[in-house]
Chains A and B, each alone.
Chain A
Protein backbone atom coordinates (compact mmCIF):
# COMPACT_ATOMS: atom_id res chain seq x y z
CA UNK A 1 0.00 0.00 0.00
CA UNK A 2 1.44 3.34 -1.09
CA UNK A 3 0.63 5.77 1.70
CA UNK A 4 1.89 8.83 -0.14
CA UNK A 5 0.68 9.59 -3.65
CA UNK A 6 2.63 12.06 -5.71
CA UNK A 7 1.36 13.75 -8.84
CA UNK A 8 2.10 14.17 -11.57
CA UNK A 9 4.48 11.26 -12.06
CA UNK A 10 6.25 13.02 -14.95
CA UNK A 11 6.47 16.67 -15.86
CA UNK A 12 8.31 18.24 -18.77
CA UNK A 13 8.30 22.01 -19.01
CA UNK A 14 10.16 24.85 -20.68
CA UNK A 15 12.66 26.97 -18.81
CA UNK A 16 10.95 29.92 -17.16
CA UNK A 17 7.59 28.21 -16.59
CA UNK A 18 6.01 27.70 -13.17
CA UNK A 19 4.92 24.32 -11.84
CA UNK A 20 3.34 22.65 -8.84
CA UNK A 21 3.72 19.06 -7.70
CA UNK A 22 1.55 17.41 -5.11
CA UNK A 23 1.94 14.89 -2.33
CA UNK A 24 -1.26 13.44 -0.87
CA UNK A 25 -2.07 10.91 1.81
CA UNK A 26 -4.93 9.66 3.92
CA UNK A 27 -2.55 9.45 6.88
CA UNK A 28 -1.51 12.22 9.25
CA UNK A 29 2.22 12.77 9.56
CA UNK A 30 4.17 14.49 12.31
CA UNK A 31 6.26 16.17 9.62
CA UNK A 32 6.78 16.01 5.89
CA UNK A 33 10.02 16.31 4.00
CA UNK A 34 10.86 17.04 0.38
CA UNK A 35 13.94 15.65 -1.33
CA UNK A 36 15.45 16.02 -4.78
CA UNK A 37 17.35 13.18 -6.39
CA UNK A 38 19.56 13.43 -9.44
CA UNK A 39 20.53 10.41 -11.57
CA UNK A 40 23.17 8.24 -9.91
CA UNK A 41 22.92 10.09 -6.62
CA UNK A 42 21.06 9.71 -3.35
CA UNK A 43 18.15 12.03 -2.46
CA UNK A 44 19.08 15.40 -0.95
CA UNK A 45 16.85 17.01 1.66
CA UNK A 46 15.28 20.30 0.56
CA UNK A 47 12.94 21.16 3.41
CA UNK A 48 10.98 19.85 6.40
CA UNK A 49 7.50 21.16 7.18
CA UNK A 50 6.01 20.48 10.58
CA UNK A 51 2.98 22.63 11.33
CA UNK A 52 -0.35 22.32 9.52
CA UNK A 53 -0.69 25.21 7.08
CA UNK A 54 3.01 25.97 7.20
CA UNK A 55 4.60 27.60 4.16
CA UNK A 56 8.36 27.61 3.60
CA UNK A 57 10.26 29.32 0.83
CA UNK A 58 13.63 28.31 -0.49
CA UNK A 59 14.58 30.80 -3.22
CA UNK A 60 12.26 29.90 -6.13
CA UNK A 61 10.76 26.89 -4.33
CA UNK A 62 7.68 27.22 -2.10
CA UNK A 63 6.57 24.33 0.08
CA UNK A 64 3.21 24.10 1.79
CA UNK A 65 1.94 21.62 4.39
CA UNK A 66 -1.80 21.02 4.43
CA UNK A 67 -3.85 22.17 7.41
CA UNK A 68 -4.59 18.56 8.38
CA UNK A 69 -0.94 17.52 7.92
CA UNK A 70 -1.91 14.92 5.32
CA UNK A 71 -0.77 16.61 2.13
CA UNK A 72 1.82 18.97 0.77
CA UNK A 73 2.72 20.84 -2.38
CA UNK A 74 5.90 22.14 -3.96
CA UNK A 75 5.70 25.13 -6.27
CA UNK A 76 8.65 26.16 -8.43
CA UNK A 77 8.70 29.61 -9.97
CA UNK A 78 10.57 30.28 -13.20
CA UNK A 79 11.98 26.76 -13.49
CA UNK A 80 15.58 26.37 -14.60
CA UNK A 81 17.38 23.36 -16.13
CA UNK A 82 19.18 22.90 -12.81
CA UNK A 83 15.82 22.08 -11.22
CA UNK A 84 15.65 18.87 -13.25
CA UNK A 85 15.44 15.79 -11.07
CA UNK A 86 13.20 13.43 -9.15
CA UNK A 87 11.25 15.19 -6.39
CA UNK A 88 10.29 12.96 -3.50
CA UNK A 89 8.06 13.66 -0.54
CA UNK A 90 8.42 11.67 2.66
CA UNK A 91 6.11 11.54 5.64
CA UNK A 92 7.49 11.03 9.13
CA UNK A 93 5.71 9.22 11.91
CA UNK A 94 6.59 9.26 15.62
CA UNK A 95 8.16 5.85 15.09
CA UNK A 96 10.97 7.67 13.25
CA UNK A 97 10.21 5.76 10.06
CA UNK A 98 9.96 7.72 6.82
CA UNK A 99 7.47 6.74 4.11
CA UNK A 100 8.32 7.97 0.64
CA UNK A 101 6.12 8.71 -2.33
CA UNK A 102 7.19 7.39 -5.73
CA UNK A 103 8.23 10.85 -6.84
CA UNK A 104 7.68 13.34 -9.62
CA UNK A 105 10.26 13.27 -12.38
CA UNK A 106 10.78 16.84 -13.58
CA UNK A 107 12.54 17.81 -16.79
CA UNK A 108 13.17 21.47 -17.49
CA UNK A 109 14.04 22.06 -21.12
CA UNK A 110 16.34 24.99 -21.92
Chain B
Protein backbone atom coordinates (compact mmCIF):
# COMPACT_ATOMS: atom_id res chain seq x y z
CA UNK B 1 0.00 0.00 0.00
CA UNK B 2 1.52 3.32 -1.03
CA UNK B 3 2.09 5.87 1.70
CA UNK B 4 1.30 9.55 1.78
CA UNK B 5 3.01 11.37 -1.06
CA UNK B 6 3.92 15.03 -0.90
CA UNK B 7 5.26 17.06 -3.76
CA UNK B 8 7.56 18.78 -4.22
CA UNK B 9 10.08 17.73 -1.55
CA UNK B 10 11.96 21.02 -1.65
CA UNK B 11 11.03 24.54 -2.71
CA UNK B 12 12.81 27.87 -2.67
CA UNK B 13 10.63 30.93 -3.13
CA UNK B 14 11.06 34.67 -2.87
CA UNK B 15 9.18 36.89 -0.44
CA UNK B 16 5.86 37.99 -1.86
CA UNK B 17 5.44 34.98 -4.11
CA UNK B 18 2.84 32.30 -3.65
CA UNK B 19 3.26 28.55 -3.45
CA UNK B 20 1.08 25.46 -3.84
CA UNK B 21 1.93 22.18 -2.15
CA UNK B 22 0.34 18.87 -3.01
CA UNK B 23 -0.56 15.81 -0.95
CA UNK B 24 -1.86 12.41 -2.07
CA UNK B 25 -3.22 10.44 0.91
CA UNK B 26 -3.15 6.71 1.46
CA UNK B 27 -5.79 5.01 -0.68
CA UNK B 28 -9.08 4.88 1.23
CA UNK B 29 -8.18 7.65 3.64
CA UNK B 30 -10.65 10.51 3.52
CA UNK B 31 -9.18 12.88 6.09
CA UNK B 32 -6.16 15.01 5.22
CA UNK B 33 -4.47 17.37 7.66
CA UNK B 34 -1.69 19.89 7.13
CA UNK B 35 0.94 20.94 9.66
CA UNK B 36 3.77 23.44 9.74
CA UNK B 37 6.91 22.32 11.56
CA UNK B 38 9.60 24.73 12.69
CA UNK B 39 12.40 24.26 15.24
CA UNK B 40 10.96 26.92 17.53
CA UNK B 41 7.25 26.12 17.42
CA UNK B 42 7.21 22.41 16.66
CA UNK B 43 4.29 20.91 14.75
CA UNK B 44 1.45 23.37 14.37
CA UNK B 45 -1.91 22.43 12.92
CA UNK B 46 -2.98 24.34 9.82
CA UNK B 47 -6.24 22.71 8.73
CA UNK B 48 -7.99 19.42 8.15
CA UNK B 49 -10.19 18.35 5.27
CA UNK B 50 -12.69 15.53 5.16
CA UNK B 51 -14.73 14.68 2.08
CA UNK B 52 -13.77 17.97 0.39
CA UNK B 53 -14.88 20.09 3.38
CA UNK B 54 -12.64 21.94 5.79
CA UNK B 55 -13.53 20.42 9.14
CA UNK B 56 -10.94 22.10 11.38
CA UNK B 57 -8.70 25.13 11.12
CA UNK B 58 -5.70 26.23 13.15
CA UNK B 59 -4.59 29.73 14.08
CA UNK B 60 -2.89 30.78 10.89
CA UNK B 61 -3.53 33.89 8.80
CA UNK B 62 -5.77 33.83 5.77
CA UNK B 63 -2.71 33.66 3.51
CA UNK B 64 -2.75 29.95 4.25
CA UNK B 65 -5.52 28.10 2.46
CA UNK B 66 -6.24 24.62 1.28
CA UNK B 67 -8.65 22.41 -0.54
CA UNK B 68 -9.45 18.77 -1.06
CA UNK B 69 -10.56 17.09 -4.23
CA UNK B 70 -13.08 14.33 -4.73
CA UNK B 71 -10.27 11.73 -4.87
CA UNK B 72 -9.12 12.97 -1.40
CA UNK B 73 -5.97 14.54 -2.78
CA UNK B 74 -5.28 17.88 -1.14
CA UNK B 75 -3.42 21.07 -1.88
CA UNK B 76 -2.39 23.92 0.35
CA UNK B 77 -1.57 27.38 -0.86
CA UNK B 78 0.40 30.13 0.79
CA UNK B 79 0.12 33.57 -0.74
CA UNK B 80 2.37 36.60 -0.23
CA UNK B 81 5.15 34.54 1.28
CA UNK B 82 7.08 35.87 4.26
CA UNK B 83 10.49 34.84 5.56
CA UNK B 84 8.79 33.32 8.60
CA UNK B 85 6.90 30.88 6.39
CA UNK B 86 10.11 28.92 5.90
CA UNK B 87 9.34 25.53 7.41
CA UNK B 88 8.70 21.86 6.80
CA UNK B 89 5.09 21.42 5.72
CA UNK B 90 3.68 18.04 6.55
CA UNK B 91 0.57 16.38 5.28
CA UNK B 92 -1.08 13.52 7.14
CA UNK B 93 -3.96 11.26 6.18
CA UNK B 94 -6.30 9.32 8.44
CA UNK B 95 -8.77 6.51 7.78
CA UNK B 96 -11.44 8.10 9.96
CA UNK B 97 -14.19 5.57 9.34
CA UNK B 98 -15.32 4.67 12.83
CA UNK B 99 -14.92 8.07 14.46
CA UNK B 100 -13.27 6.40 17.44
CA UNK B 101 -9.78 6.84 18.83
CA UNK B 102 -8.20 5.27 15.76
CA UNK B 103 -9.87 7.88 13.57
CA UNK B 104 -7.19 10.44 14.34
CA UNK B 105 -4.16 8.16 13.85
CA UNK B 106 -2.14 10.10 11.33
CA UNK B 107 0.09 8.78 8.59
CA UNK B 108 2.52 11.44 7.48
CA UNK B 109 4.24 12.16 4.23
CA UNK B 110 7.91 13.10 4.06
CA UNK B 111 7.02 16.77 3.91
CA UNK B 112 7.85 19.71 1.71
CA UNK B 113 10.77 21.83 2.85
CA UNK B 114 9.90 25.43 1.93
CA UNK B 115 12.59 28.09 2.08
CA UNK B 116 11.59 31.72 1.58
CA UNK B 117 14.43 34.08 0.68
Say whether A42 contacts B96, CB under 8 Å: no
The answer to whether B43 touches A96 (Cβ under 8 A) is no
A99 to B56 alpha-carbon distance, docked (Å): 12
**Chain B residues closer than 8 Å to A31, beta-carbon distance:** 101, 104
With A96-B96, A97-B45, A98-B45 as given contacts, are A48 and B109 in contact (CB-CB < 8 Å)? no
- CB under 8 Å from chain B, chain A span 79-109: 88, 90, 92, 95-103
Residues of B within 8 A of A101 (CB): 42
Indicate whether A68 reaches chain B with its CB closer than 8 angstroms: no
Q: Using Cβ atoms and an 8 Å threshold, which residues of chain A touch B94?
A: 96
Chain A residues, Cβ within 8 Å of B50: 96
Residues of chain A from 14 to 69 with CB closer than 8 A to chain B in the complex: 30-31, 33, 35, 40-45, 48, 50
Using known A-B contacts A31-B101, A50-B101, determine if residue A98 contacts B42 with beta carbons closer than 8 Å: no
B42 to A43, Cβ gap below 8 A?
no
The answer on a CB contact under 8 Å between B105 and A33 is: yes
- Judge whether A42 and B92 touch: CB under 8 Å: yes
- A41-B110, A42-B4, A88-B43 are contacts. A97–B105 as well, Cβ < 8 Å? no
- Chain B: minimal CB distance from A39 (Å): 10
Find B42's partner among A42, A45, A103 (CB 8 Å cutoff).
A103
Show the binding face of B for A, using Cβ within 8 Å: 4, 31, 33, 35, 41-45, 48, 50, 55-56, 90, 92, 94, 96, 101-111
User: Which 4 A-B pairs have CB atoms at the shortest separation, nearest pair first?
Assistant: A42-B108, A102-B42, A31-B101, A100-B43
